[in-house]
Amino acid sequence: MEQEIRFCTAPDGVRIAYATAGKGPPIVKVGNWLTHLEFDWKSPVWRHVLEGLAEHRQLIRYDVRGTGLSDRDVSDITFEHFVTDLGAVVDALGLERFPLFGLSQGGAVGIAYAIRNPHRVSHLILLGCFARGAAHRSSQGPGLVATRRAIIRQGWGSDDPSYRELFSAQFLPDGTPEQLRWFGELERVSATAEVAEIIAVANASVDVRALLPQVKIPTLILHSRGDRRVPLDCGHELAANIAGSRFVTLESNNHLILEHEPATEVFFDEVAKFLGDEKPRSWKHTVRATEGKLQKMAHGVETSATYKILGMVAAVASVISFIVWLLA
């Protein structure tokens, strides 16, 4: 399957890159932190999800302003811009009615867009999403946000990958060495440290709780039980305040569901039933291929374990370096 990349212009003149793949009725993936249309399409972290969504539908996705193939030299990056950029993409394609798939902060953006355009959004699919960002959560708060910002400023884009691995381990705690390497590289190629920090602050400041009772369209909420980036309670809060929504707990620790875990099959089952689609055949093929790969990798468990131990050592070293930097 191939994708086609195009560009459109947001109301303030910023150029937004978007991609289409597959045929059939549309499904729009809301932009999230962080993406790169070309890099994600080949990534072992994203490829299985993107191909599965595009098998029976036309999948539309885009890079958030300041990231990926969209304009990089952008000073205005706010939640409001995220919402209008989504509108620019669907308007450029002339879409009349479509489901929205939101991951992480993409859920809040999708909710805001759906409230403003209820005649255009047919369904909401929210995976690992939240109504309020980390700055508004009692379990996290401004202190955590400040720490994340400092780590981004100190190590983002550097030749030392251990700083990026701190984020990778939070997004993909059960990722394979290959998946962790790809995700760490995605962080580097998708945005500069300056933009990564701006987007991180914008996401942490999100608060759409007041909008949730206004959501009147069918909504499916899925959330990993052990999600370390966005706690499970965030998914519960969405479900408790969106009337008639369906909530599904995924047995996973990962913020981004991976092809080798059963949670991904549950995700595709639920989405297919929710939209009235057939379950993607490509996902069934992926399951068999992945099982074969895992069998071949069985003899290398000790090597994999060693890799993870080294990764933990590097992460500890990074934290120590960060603390020294703070105290300097």
User: Is the predicted pLDDT of residue 273 greater than 80, yes or no?
Assistant: yes
Angle between helices 281-297 and 47-54 (to 10 degrees): 160
User: Is the predicted pLDDT of residue 321 greater than 50, yes or no?
Assistant: no
Alpha helices in 120-205, H assignment, sequence order: 141-155, 162-171, 177-190, 193-204
Angle between helices 281-297 and 262-275 (to 10 degrees): 180
User: Is the predicted pLDDT of residue 223 greater than 80, yes or no?
Assistant: yes
Q: What does the alpha-carbon distance between residue 277 and residue 275 come to, in Å, rounded to a whole number?
A: 5
pLDDT digits (tens, 9 = 90+) for 148-186: 777 777 777 666 777 767 778 889 999 999 999 899 889
- Lookup result for tokens 């302003």: 65
Sheet holding 58-62, edge to edge: 3-9, 15-21, 58-62, 26-29, 98-103, 121-127, 219-224, 246-250
The overall longest dimension of the chain from CA atoms, in Å, is 58
Please say whether the beta carbons of 257 and 161 come within 8 A: no
Per-residue tokens: 33: 């932190």
State the Cα angle at 61 between 60 and 67, rounded to 5°: 160
Q: In terms of pLDDT, which residue wins out, 307 or 270?
A: 270
User: Is the predicted pLDDT of residue 305 greater than 90, yes or no?
Assistant: no
Q: What does the alpha-carbon distance between residue 105 and residue 91 come to, in Å, rounded to a whole number?
A: 21
Local structure of 95: helix, strand or coil? coil
pLDDT at 98: 98
- Whole-prediction pTM value? 0.85
How many domains would you assign to the chain?
Answer: 1
pLDDT at 244: 97
Domain boundaries, position 285: 3-327
Per-residue tokens: 240: 């408790």
Q: Mean pLDDT, the chain, as a whole number?
A: 86
Q: What does the alpha-carbon distance between residue 303 and residue 77 come to, in Å, rounded to a whole number?
A: 42
pLDDT at 314: 41
pLDDT at 75: 83
pLDDT at 310: 40
pLDDT digits (tens, 9 = 90+) for 32-41: 988 999 999 9
Q: What does the alpha-carbon distance between residue 317 and residue 322 come to, in Å, rounded to a whole number?
A: 9
Q: 189: pLDDT confidence band, cut at 50, 70 and 90?
A: very high
- Rounded to 5 degrees, what are φ and ψ at 4? -120, 125
> What is the CB-side half-sphere exposure of residue 223 using CA atoms within 13 A?
23
Local structure of 232: helix, strand or coil? helix
What is the CATH classification number for the domain harbouring 75?
Answer: 3.40.50.1820
User: Is the predicted pLDDT of residue 62 greater than 50, yes or no?
Assistant: yes
